A and B are shown apart, each in its own frame.
Chain A
C-alpha cells in the first residue's frame, strides 16, 4: 500500500506504479530517521560546521526608523552555505541518501539555487549528481550552471514543455523511474508526492526553531507578524512552523509579476487564478486553464516562478492560518533598493517579495509590535539577474566591453 498524507484536501501521492516501491522505501527511511534522535543531532551538527547555522536574527534599526512602525527583524538564511535556505533541505536529504545507501542524486532547478546546493552536497558526500534545468533557465542563469559543473554535476538542459522549472521536475521524475535503484531525487521544495512536502518542511523547520528561540532571547516576547516569500513554499513553511502554536500572524508573499490582473504572475493562493488540481504527483492549487492544462507563469524572481505550491500551504490558506498576498516585480525592486541602502543587506529577488509585503504594512503597526522577515537567500551572487532587473547602464556597458574582450 502507498503511504499517503493529506493536509485538508491537499497533498496525496499520485504515483505512477513504477515508483510505488521507491516511495515506500523513502517513506520508511524518512520515518526511521525522524524517530532516531541522533539523526536530528547529526543534521544540526553538519549544518553548524558546513553551513552557517544557527543563522543570525538581525535587528533592522534603519528600516524600523524609516517606517516608524513595527520593530523589524530579519532572519538571515542568506548566510547559509551557497547563499540560501536551500542548503537546509539538501543537506538533510543528503544524510538520508547515505542512510539508504544510494550513490547518485538528481535534482530539478529553476534559478539554479537548488541545483548548486544539491551539487555542493553531492560533492561533499561523494554522490554522482545530475541536475535538470529548463533550457530557458540554463540560458539566463549561466553563473549557477558554471558552479554546478565545476562542482562535478552534469547539468541537462530540458528542451521540452515550456522549458522552465515545472518541465525540469517532469524530467527529473523521468530519470528517477529509470534509475531508482541507485538514485534519490532531491526535490527542492515542499511539493510533490508524500513524503516530500513533510520531509522538506521537516528539514526547513530548523529556521523557525531558531527564529523563535532568538526573538524570545532578544525581545522576550513573540512577534506580531512573520513574512516569507512563497514559491514552492519551503522557506515559508520553515520559518512559519516555529510559530504554528503561537498567536502570530503568518504572511506568505507570492510573485505578483506584472500585476494580478494581467495574468502575468505566479500567484496561486493570493488571487482567484489558482484552482485545485493534481499534477507532478500531488494535489494543490495550480495555475491552470479550465481543461486542467498548466499555464505559463511570470516573475522577476525565477525561484517563485512555479505553477504549483506546497499542499501544506494550500491547506493553511483554506484554514485561514496563513494570509497570502502578492508583491509585483516593481514593488520588489523598490523594496530591494531600500533594503540595500538602509541596511547594507542584499536579499535575493525571491526574498525581496517578503520585504515588499512587510514594508507595505510596517508603518501601520505600533512601535511596540515586532515583525520578522525571512531573508531566504542573498542577492549579491545573482548579480546578472539583479543588474538586469534594474537595467543598470554601467553594468550593461561592462558586459558589452567584456564580450569584446572575448572576441564577440
Chain B
C-alpha cells in the first residue's frame, strides 16, 4: 500500500495516529505474532517490526535486551522475514521493517528490498544508514516502491532537514530528544518548537518517537505531529504483565 496516502486517509478519521514497535522473535515468534494481533485489534495504525541485531547502537536498554534475547533463542533473518510477511498479509495496516544496515548488507541490499516488496512490507527504518552512505539502498527502495523512512533529530540543522526530506517517502521519523530509545522525554515548549521546525522542512506527516509512554504524552503531541510512536513502553508492559496487558495499554492511549 502507498504509505503517505494511507496516512492522509487515516488522518481524516483521527487527530493523531499510533505506530507501535516490536522486536521479532522476542520473547518468541509465536508471541510476536500474538502481540501484533492484539495491537492491530486495539487500533494501531502502523507497525515497526524490528529484526534483531547483535550491535543495536541506537537502542536503549529495553530494546537492546529484547534484541539479545531474540538472538539467544535462535532468531534468524529468515524467521523474521517470514513472520513479517505473515503479519503483512494477515492484517490490513502498513508494516515497516526496522533494523540496522548490516542485516541488509549481508542479505544483499537489492535481495532484501525485493523480499520486503514481495512480502507486502511498506517501508523500512534503518537508523545507522544516513543517505550519504545509502545510495544503493535508496535506489533499491525506489525500484521496489518502498518508503525509506528518514530520521530528523533535535541536532539536525534546518538545511540538513531539507536535504533528508528530499529522500523521504511516507513520513518523517522525528526523534524527540538526544539519547537512545526508552528513556524519559520532557514534553515541553522546546519540543513543540523543534516539531514545528520539522514541519517546515517537509510536507510529509511527522512521527515522534523516543520516550512516549502514556495517553498524556500523546495528548501533548496532538496538533504538533501526525503519528505518535510507542516503542520500549509496550515491551516493558509485556514483560511485566503479559501480552493481554499490551492490548489494554494500547486501548488506554486512544
**Residues of A that sit less than 8 Å from B by CB:** 1-2, 4, 12-22, 160-161, 166, 170, 173-174, 177-180, 275-281, 288, 290-294
Contacts and interface: CB of A to CB of B under 8 A. Distances in A.
B130 A277 contact: no
Q: Which 10 A-B pairs have the closest CB atoms?
A: A292-B106, A178-B179, A18-B153, A292-B102, A21-B155, A17-B151, A2-B132, A293-B54, A294-B54, A17-B153
A166 B178 contact: no
A52 to B, nearest CB: 36
Contacts of B187: none
Contacts of B57: 16, 170, 173-174, 280-281
Interface string B97-130: 0001111011100000000000000000001111
A22 B130 contact: no
Contacts of B151: 16-17
Contacts, number: 116
Nearest to A286: B102
6 contacts: A14-B101, A17-B152, A17-B153, A177-B179, A180-B155, A281-B128
A18 B151 CA distance: 9
Contacts of B65: 160
A375 B52 CA distance: 40
Contacts of A16: 57-58, 127-128, 151, 153
A277 B102 contact: yes
A290 B64 CA distance: 21
Contact of A278 (B128, B153, B180): B128
Nearest to A277: B102
A161 B54 contact: yes
A364 to B, nearest CB: 40
A12 B156 CA distance: 20
B241 interface: no
Contacts of A15: 128, 130
A177 B53 contact: no
Contacts of A280: 55, 57
B157 A21 contact: yes
A18 B107 CA distance: 26
A277 B54 CA distance: 13
A278 B127 CA distance: 13
Contacts of A292: 53, 77, 102-103, 105-107
Interface string B177-217: 01110010000000000000000000000000000000000
A21 B156 contact: yes
Given A13-B132, A21-B157, A292-B107, 16 more contacts: A1-B163, A14-B128, A14-B129, A16-B58, A16-B127, A20-B155, A161-B55, A170-B57, A178-B183, A180-B155, A279-B100, A280-B55, A291-B103, A291-B106, A292-B103, A294-B55
A15 B58 CA distance: 10
A293 B102 CA distance: 8
Best-surrounded residue of A22, A160, A275 (most CB of chain B within 10 A): A160
B105 A277 contact: yes
Nearest to B181: A174
Contact of B133 (A12, A160, A180, A275): A12
B178 A18 contact: yes
B175 A160 contact: no
A291 B175 contact: no
Best-surrounded residue of B61, B153, B154 (most CB of chain A within 10 A): B153
Contacts of B157: 21
Interface string B11-45: 00000000000000000000000000000000000
B143 interface: no
Nearest to B159: A1
Contacts of A177: 58, 178-180
B160 interface: yes
Contacts of A276: 105
Nearest to A293: B54
Contacts of B155: 17-22, 180
Given A20-B155, A277-B105, A4 B133 contact: yes
B130 A2 contact: yes
Contacts of A278: 101-102, 105, 128
Contacts of A288: 102, 106
B68 interface: yes
A233 to B, nearest CB: 19
Given A279-B102, A292-B103, A17 B76 contact: no
